[in-house]
Chains A and B, each alone.
Chain A
Amino acid sequence: MIPLVMITAVVLFLAGSFLRFYLPLFWNKLLLCVCSFALMEVILKNDFGDFSLFIYGAFVLLASYSFSWYGVCGSVILIAAFSSGGTDIQWYPMPLITLLLTGVVGTIFHRQLRRKLALETVWQTQMYKQSRHLSILKEIGIAIQSTMEPGKLLHIILTAITAGYGLGFNRALLFLMDESDSRLKGELGIGSMNEQEGMCIWNAVVSDRMNLGDFIAMKDNTHVRDYELNDLLRATVITLSSNHFIQRAITEQKPYLVRSIDPTDYVQIMLSKIFHMNSFAVVPMLNQGKAVGIIVVDNNINHEPIDIEEVDSIIPLAAQASIAIENSRLYKRTQQMSITDGLTGLYNQRYMQETLHNLAVQADSKGSPLSLIILDIDFFKHYNDTNGHLEGNKVLIELADIITGSVGKLHVPCRFGGEEFVVLLPETSRDEAQRVAELIRSKVERHPFHNAKAQPDERVTVSVGLAAYRHGMSIQQLQDRADTALYEAKRSGKNQVVVFREGA
């Protein structure tokens, strides 16, 4: 028969061994040591001779492993003072020294293990963090390559900063420098204005099993548009001056962490008021040392404190974003140049041909009217010969301004070549087009061009030909008709508008 006291001790030990996991680590350790001591006392009620020392040693080992030096001292004192077993041990000197040495071994083991674990944890955490950042950068690098559209680029960058698969900030706001380099204008924001909205999105993301790629792809999805945030952001302008933290971040070219709002910094107060920010970070977007914009991040939903290391990880993304934005702007400028006449700023002939083709297709499908005006400066060669080509160029520029100021928003003014200009007039009937043509002609006639008196008619004038598109007609036919009308205007005395009429 196993004595009741032993059964009780085992039950208590097992219960303690299980219940200890409910407790914090310190109490967990203490409970296990107490249970072990009780069990040991029950076992050692019987005389085991020298074997008792082995069991005491095991307890000291456990105590020292659990509490280091405190465990050694505590367990040895406990054994010496309270051990009431049947063992008759002369504690001094050898058994005590043996137990103390066991404790030393336990403590060294405990310390080594703890140090190793701590090192491993730090190393692993760093490695995992770096690995994650590398993945994000790789993913973003691929995504950025896929577009030249500035809006899409900004969306990709902010997604990488805010998505859980990315850096995981609750909210990111992007401000871009305006052309004067003196103001930052709110451009795009991702994140929620309140916890409820934020949690709703977070739930949806997890339910849909969305990853970073999905987020990047879903730019137009309604629940990531963040209307309220973007409305507020687009109305926000930060003027750069020397007395606020954003200026400092840009000048020093490094991130700036705001842990609490500085009441002397008006930009911090403004951001706090508009976006309810308490603590946030700003990262300058730099390209070759020049500030392109800034990114502001905060954790307004989970209120996690912002770690400078996490903020640092935005820097490569901000750098990529800056390059991508500059490239995109450059691309847009090049694209614009390829369809624009360098002298007058009007669209060039290539763009005119493409647009005319599209407008004709549109007119055919919708049955809407389309007209074309072609105009030519009268006696322009004479003007050039008299005043020189530089003055001639000025006339072309001023004429382009007159045309632009005379046509509607839908109309497309182009420089056809030399002193010839074309205006495409979609959704415009022949009569309406004639009014526009007449307006241009009369404005030119009245405009005080330089040395206009030297012209044969003592003024600079234009002749205008006009033709209307008819269903099934080719665009070449339309241009020929307008050209014929222009020829007729020239032939019959210049400075007039002639409308092409069939059979006329």
Chain B
Amino acid sequence: MSAIGTALQSGILLLIAAFALLSSRYGYSLNLRMFAKRQMKRFGYKSLKDLKFSFDRMIYAIPLPTNQPSIKQAKMESYRIVEDFDSWIYPQLNGIRVLLTPKQGEELLIAYVSTEQFRMPSLDQLLIEGKINRTTYRRISATKLTMLSTKTEIIEEVYSQIQNKRFS
């Protein structure tokens, strides 16, 4: 094999390695999903969607009720969720941030849900019964937090709290 061919092959391998390292977050998320699904099946749940969760530990970074026009008048579509990881190569989901891009001005942090504080009664029950440990609880919580349906519900909750005339 020619030297160019060898260099090309090695270059491709290096690129794959670099890509694998930089896409660790996706690998982590995929892994979480597979793990959570298997756990759910083990305890008789059809899907992760069956798990009900609580908003009770969601933290608002803005005062509620708010009368700031840029927040009050923002549409639901202006909200987005950003996952909060602590590292690129060894990622752990710390929580999710609810951000608002108002018509004018910079993006605002509206609320935060921590993975540690994201609670589900079904998992609490399993934890009390000793069927899962805290690490499993945390991994399933992280998976649930990253699901699209959860993110949508969280945005709806934040939006409704902001539109609500009284807080909570």
Which residues of A approach B to under 8 Å, CB–CB? Answer: 2-3, 6, 9-10, 13-14, 17-19, 21-22, 24-25, 28-29, 32, 36, 39, 42-43, 46, 48, 55, 62, 65-66, 113, 117, 121, 128, 131-132, 135, 138-139, 142, 163-165, 168, 195, 199, 202-203, 205-207, 209, 211-214, 301-303
A135 to B122, CA, bound (A): 27
A147 to B86, CA, bound (A): 46
Docked-complex contact A39 and B55, CB < 8 angstroms:
no
Task: Give the nearest-CB partner of B29 in chain A.
Answer: A21
A205 to B56, CA, bound (A): 10
Docked-complex contact A17 and B13, CB < 8 angstroms:
no
A6 to B24, CA, bound (A): 21
A32 to B20, CA, bound (A): 10
B78 interface contact, C-beta 8 A: no
A131 to B110, CA, bound (A): 12
Which residues of B approach A to under 8 Å, CB–CB? Answer: 6-7, 9-10, 13-14, 16-17, 20-21, 24, 27-28, 30-32, 35, 52-57, 59-61, 64, 86-87, 89-90, 92, 94, 112, 114, 119-122, 124-125, 127-128, 135, 166-168
Docked-complex contact A165 and B127, CB < 8 angstroms:
no
Complex contacts, A203 vs chain B, CB 8 Å: 52, 121-122
Docked-complex contact A25 and B121, CB < 8 angstroms:
no
Docked-complex contact B10 and A43, CB < 8 angstroms:
yes
Which residue of B55, B59, B119 is within 8 Å of A131 (Cβ)? Answer: B59
Nearest CB in chain A: distance from B87 CB, A: 8
Docked-complex contact A128 and B90, CB < 8 angstroms:
no
Complex contacts, B87 vs chain A, CB 8 Å: 113, 117
Task: Give the nearest-CB partner of A203 in chain B.
Answer: B121
Docked-complex contact B17 and A13, CB < 8 angstroms:
yes
Docked-complex contact B89 and A211, CB < 8 angstroms:
no
Nearest CB in chain B: distance from A206 CB, A: 5
Q: How many A-B residue pairs have CB under 8 A?
A: 113
A21-B28 contact, Cβ under 8 Å, with A42-B13, A128-B114: yes
Complex contacts, A42 vs chain B, CB 8 Å: 13
Nearest CB in chain B: distance from A215 CB, A: 9
Docked-complex contact A28 and B128, CB < 8 angstroms:
no
Docked-complex contact A6 and B53, CB < 8 angstroms:
no
Docked-complex contact A164 and B128, CB < 8 angstroms:
no
Which residue of A10, A24, A164 is within 8 Å of B56 (Cβ)? Answer: A164
Nearest CB in chain A: distance from B163 CB, A: 14
Docked-complex contact B52 and A128, CB < 8 angstroms:
no
A43-B14 contact, Cβ under 8 Å, with A21-B28, A128-B112: yes
Docked-complex contact B52 and A206, CB < 8 angstroms:
yes
Complex contacts, A199 vs chain B, CB 8 Å: 121, 124-125, 128
A-B CB contact pairs (8 Å), 29 listed: A2-B9, A17-B21, A17-B27, A18-B27, A21-B31, A22-B35, A24-B135, A25-B90, A32-B21, A39-B13, A43-B10, A55-B14, A117-B86, A117-B87, A135-B60, A135-B64, A164-B56, A168-B57, A199-B121, A202-B121, A203-B121, A206-B52, A206-B53, A206-B54, A206-B120, A206-B121, A214-B168, A302-B127, A303-B128
A206 to B120, CA, bound (A): 8
Task: Give the nearest-CB partner of A138 in chain B.
Answer: B167
Nearest CB in chain B: distance from A11 CB, A: 10
A3 to B8, CA, bound (A): 13
Docked-complex contact A302 and B17, CB < 8 angstroms:
no
Complex contacts, A62 vs chain B, CB 8 Å: 21, 89
Complex contacts, A22 vs chain B, CB 8 Å: 31, 35
Complex contacts, A168 vs chain B, CB 8 Å: 56-57
Docked-complex contact A213 and B168, CB < 8 angstroms:
yes
A14-B16 contact, Cβ under 8 Å, with A165-B56, A207-B52, A302-B127: yes
Which residue of B9, B60, B90, B114 is within 8 Å of A28 (Cβ)? Answer: B90
Which residue of A3, A21, A113, A302 is within 8 Å of B32 (Cβ)? Answer: A21
Complex contacts, A302 vs chain B, CB 8 Å: 124, 127-128
Complex contacts, B16 vs chain A, CB 8 Å: 10, 13-14
Complex contacts, B13 vs chain A, CB 8 Å: 6, 9-10, 39, 42-43
A113 to B7, CA, bound (A): 34
Complex contacts, A66 vs chain B, CB 8 Å: 89-90
Nearest CB in chain A: distance from B113 CB, A: 10
Complex contacts, B128 vs chain A, CB 8 Å: 195, 199, 301-303
Query: A13-B17, A18-B27, A62-B21 given. 5 additional CB < 8 A pairs?
Result: A39-B13, A113-B87, A131-B60, A139-B167, A213-B166
Nearest CB in chain B: distance from A27 CB, A: 11
Interface centre among B121, B125, B167 (most CB of A within 10 A): B121
Docked-complex contact B124 and A202, CB < 8 angstroms:
yes
Complex contacts, B64 vs chain A, CB 8 Å: 135
Docked-complex contact B54 and A36, CB < 8 angstroms:
no
Complex contacts, B52 vs chain A, CB 8 Å: 203, 206-207
Q: Identify the 8 closest CB pairs spanning chains A and B, nearest first.
A: A164-B56, A21-B31, A211-B168, A213-B168, A17-B20, A165-B56, A203-B121, A43-B10
A502 to B125, CA, bound (A): 75
Complex contacts, B119 vs chain A, CB 8 Å: 164
Nearest CB in chain A: distance from B45 CB, A: 14
Complex contacts, A142 vs chain B, CB 8 Å: 166-167
Docked-complex contact A14 and B32, CB < 8 angstroms:
no
Task: Give the nearest-CB partner of A128 in chain B.
Answer: B59
A163 to B89, CA, bound (A): 38
A474 to B21, CA, bound (A): 92
Complex contacts, B94 vs chain A, CB 8 Å: 121
A114 to B136, CA, bound (A): 24
Docked-complex contact A211 and B127, CB < 8 angstroms:
no
A136 to B94, CA, bound (A): 23
Task: Give the nearest-CB partner of A202 in chain B.
Answer: B121
